[in-house]
Structure 1
Amino acid sequence: MVTEHVLILGGQGRIGSSVAADLVAYTQAEVVITGRSEKTGAAFARRLGPRVRFQQLDLQDRAALETAIAQSQLVIHCAGPFQFRDASVLERCIALGVNYLDVSDNRAFTIGALALRQRAQEAGVTAIVNSGIFPGLSNSMVRQAAEQLDQPETIHLSYVVQGSGGAGVTVLRTTFLALQHPFKVWLDGRWQEVEPYSGRETVYFGQTPAHVYWFDMPESYTLAQTFSVRSVITKFGVEPDLYNHLTALAAERFPKNWFANPDVVEFLSQVSHAMTAVTDAFSGVGVRIRAQVSGIKDGQSSLRTAVLSHHNTTVVCGIGTGSLAELMLNGKVNKPGVWTVDEALSTPLFEQIVTNRRLVVQLD
């Protein structure tokens, strides 16, 4: 039996290490995690087990990166923030004939990656972007709900994270970077501009209320391309609600150029991380996702809602990516081209993931 080799770029981070842990638990793959510090990286890899080793790697070192990719059957790109990344890793995977998966969460990055679809098809490379929890599992929940209808018309995605979600500073940087500019959403059959962290709304996860705001996610763009719907709404919130008010205040009152200043973003991220380190003790670090799809069923208006809850955001993000990697390694997901999760993963395979990883998705 041939041993698969998986390369996780940024594998020392919270998300990358969670993906590595899932792969160790559910596959027989040999896993290489990369980072910049040999001293901390080697010890980190040992904690994950004997099938994980560390490789010091700078993504700017093209020769070293290409060598590492060429020695792998699958590359998983977890080295964010993706606002500062381009599709160069994916381009090298295509050139070397190596399958690719990432945890990207940025619209511009996603559009650039999807533009390489034909090249990946010609090379026989399966590449999937936006894996993880949201985007990722959330995309599959939309597909699952939409397939219950004859004609889906409106997609409303809501994500609520408790405290830090168990994530590191990189994820917090991503949040503040997303406050820089208004962004376009597909509403009433046309692209319209909305302000980040505006439009506060109360949504219910079962009987539990939460508050969410407009937030720029790749799904705002990609789901509008995949499904013939009139509107795609993506909203995000945090618990405790105090953090929502602070973020909304920053988005409304702070000069936009502050969020383009790396020093300001770093300061806000570090302060937020310190605050959530205190409040995580009582808020928890879980996540709730609601994918609500309205449309027509048997000639009548109808609504389908899928809800997922998990006690640890980082762990379930690792599950979302690791389970997809497992399916790519065993050949169950083999679709040359560059795709989002909802385009690459069928609902039966998604439901298999839910069962195998002991997730709970309530579909009503």
Structure 2
Amino acid sequence: MAPVVRACMPLPTPPAAVASSSAAPSTDAQRRSPGARVLVLGGTGRVGGSTATALSKLRPDLSILIAGRNRLDVDLVVHAAGPFQRENECTVLQAAIATKTAYIDICDDTDYSWRAKGFHEQAKACGVPAITTAGIYPGVSNGFFYYTAGSGGAGPTILTTSFLLLAEDVIAYNKGEEIKLKPYSGALSIDFGKGARKKDVYLLNLPEVKSAYKVLGVPTVSARFGTAPFFWNWGMQAFANFLPVEFLRDKNKVLKLVKFVDPFVRAIDGIAGERVSMRVSNYFFLFTCAFKSTSSIQAI
């Protein structure tokens, strides 16, 4: 069944105060009822489009609505309209809580993800299931060692995200102590196994590091990213070392840079292919994740 595509009304400005917990939340039966409406924000993009397609195959009974960056009354909002870097407000999440709409996003930014987690009590009080940082690139799937050939099939958004991250100090933890490191430094050669084999990866400020330390109690943790062909890594290092930080922090300027670079990446992808690999090398983290996965998530 193909996704149902309809026009969407503009996103309303979220109210200053979230509705009180006295209002009855939707029941599980209501949330899982046949014909439930799911809105995929950013559904016209590569990741959002793939999300909509996967949902339509997994649950053919769902009515899936696709929009660029708008919303309307639905049962679930999937926020895939990245990049999330340099976003100062969690507007979609706030609107979802205010309207008692289940929410999930594919955020891959540390600041945004922790800002979103600040709405935990509001979401819980309103009975709104809300999950942040759940996409292929963020969350556990960043794997602490992460490698992608070219764009990895994720479209220009991954380029924008990567360039914006070059303006951020890398937050890592060493024996319980927070440390700041230079982005795209600290190269390691990591074996990703059959298919990808050994690849060089470099430090980036990724959200799972802070979560692993603060939530799971992992004392030493960092995350690294690498791409292929190898000269793309040289380009990333050059951007990190020679472009002004003010330039890399300006989303509009970075978007223009991506518009220039993206055709070259696409051309190389056609020759080198696209591949995504992840590796987690902390056994305590693996054990903890396996344990934690038995618990249901009711809020952020």
What is residue 336 of structure 1 aligned with on the other side?
Answer: 298
Q: Distance in 1 between matches of 2:90 and 2:252?
A: 25
* Cα offset, 1:73, TM superposition: 1.1
**What's the TM-score, normalizing by structure 1?**
0.67
The one-letter code of the counterpart of 2:160 is R
Counterpart secondary structure, 1:133: coil
Q: Distance in 2 between matches of 1:174 and 1:161?
A: 13
Q: Distance in 1 between matches of 2:205 and 2:280?
A: 16
Deviation string for 1:164-202 (max 9, x for gaps)?
212222221111111113132122211100111111110
The reply on whether 1:35 has 2:68 as its aligned counterpart is: yes
Q: Distance in 2 between matches of 1:245 and 1:218?
A: 24
The reply on whether 1:172 has 2:174 as its aligned counterpart is: no
Q: Distance in 2 between matches of 1:282 and 1:169?
A: 18
Listed as ranges, the matches of 1:256-295 within 5 Å are 256-294=245-283
What is residue 122 of structure 1 aligned with on the other side?
Answer: 125
RMSD between superposed Cα atoms in Å: 2.3
What is residue 77 of structure 1 aligned with on the other side?
Answer: 79
Higher helix fraction: Structure 1 or Structure 2? 1
What is residue 184 of structure 2 aligned with on the other side?
Answer: 197
The reply on whether 1:92 has 2:95 as its aligned counterpart is: yes
Q: Distance in 2 between matches of 1:133 and 1:261?
A: 25
Same amino acid, percent of matched pairs: 31
Aligned length, in residue pairs = 259
The one-letter code of the counterpart of 2:213 is A
Instruction: Give the conservation status (yes or no) of the 8 Å contact 2:35–2:62.
Output: yes
What is residue 328 of structure 1 aligned with on the other side?
Answer: none
Counterpart secondary structure, 1:159: strand
Listed as ranges, the matches of 1:101-120 within 5 Å are 101-120=104-123
Q: 1:209 aligns with which of 193, 198, 201?
A: 198
* Cα offset, 1:121, TM superposition: 1.0
Using a 3 Å threshold, how does the CA distance of structure 1 residues 158 and 83 change in structure 2: closer, same or farther? same
* Cα offset, 1:271, TM superposition: 2.9
Using a 3 Å threshold, how does the CA distance of structure 1 residues 17 and 254 change in structure 2: closer, same or farther? same
* Cα offset, 1:333, TM superposition: 8.5
Q: Distance in 2 between matches of 1:88 and 1:164?
A: 28
Q: 1:242 aligns with which of 227, 231, 236?
A: 231
* Runs ≥4 residues deviating over 3 A: 261-264, 332-335
Gaps of 5+ in 1: 37-56, 58-64, 143-156, 297-302, 307-331, 339-364
Q: Distance in 2 between matches of 1:75 and 1:107?
A: 21
Using a 3 Å threshold, how does the CA distance of structure 1 residues 3 and 292 change in structure 2: closer, same or farther? same
Higher strand fraction: Structure 1 or Structure 2? 1
Q: Distance in 2 between matches of 1:334 and 1:294?
A: 22
Counterpart secondary structure, 1:83: coil
Q: Distance in 1 between matches of 2:274 and 2:239?
A: 23
Listed as ranges, the matches of 1:306-317 within 5 Å are none
The one-letter code of the counterpart of 1:32 is L
What is residue 43 of structure 2 aligned with on the other side?
Answer: 11
The one-letter code of the counterpart of 1:120 is A
Instruction: Give the conservation status (yes or no) of the 8 Å contact 1:162–1:280.
Output: yes
Instruction: Give the conservation status (yes or no) of the 8 Å contact 1:126–1:334.
Output: no
Q: Distance in 1 between matches of 2:255 and 2:93?
A: 28
What is residue 147 of structure 1 aligned with on the other side?
Answer: none
Q: Distance in 2 between matches of 1:19 and 1:163?
A: 20
**What's the TM-score, normalizing by structure 2?**
0.80
